[in-house]
Amino acid sequence: IFISGQFNHDEEGNLVAPAPLDADGRPSDFSSMGEQMRVSYDNIAKLLALYGATMQDVVEETLYVLDMDAAFAVVGKVRKAAYGTERPEAASNIIGVSRLAQRPQLIEIVCRAVIGAQAK
């Protein structure tokens, strides 16, 4: 299952915890990175459920972030909560980018899941 870029939107398409923008339309505060990341993982879990999969079926993920320091400050805790385990078994990449689709967006996550891949 390939899940394309998921970000911090609710079921109506409204952004959750959007970053404030400066006069040039760039995020000026990255403190909502954790909440945006949590919502992104929640959206992934909902999509996976449509196919009978869970976060434990994720084998690879890539996080695209606007600020690496802000991401590293929260990623460990948020990932552990999203996967429900101290050591998520998915291969994980994190890539810094200069802009994402929505200007107040700080993170976008893509992933690949294989049903039963983590079965023991």
Task: Report the pLDDT value the prediction gives residue 117, as an integer from 0 to 100.
Answer: 74
Torsion of CA 32, 34, 39, 44, to 10 degrees: 140
- Give the tens place of pLDDT for each residue, 79-110: 999 999 998 999 999 999 999 999 999 999 99
Residue ranges and CATH numbers for the domains of the chain are 2-8+29-113 (3.30.1330.40)
Angle among Cα 32, 33, 39 to the nearest 5 degrees reads 90
Residues in CB range of 119: below 8 A, 6 or more apart? none
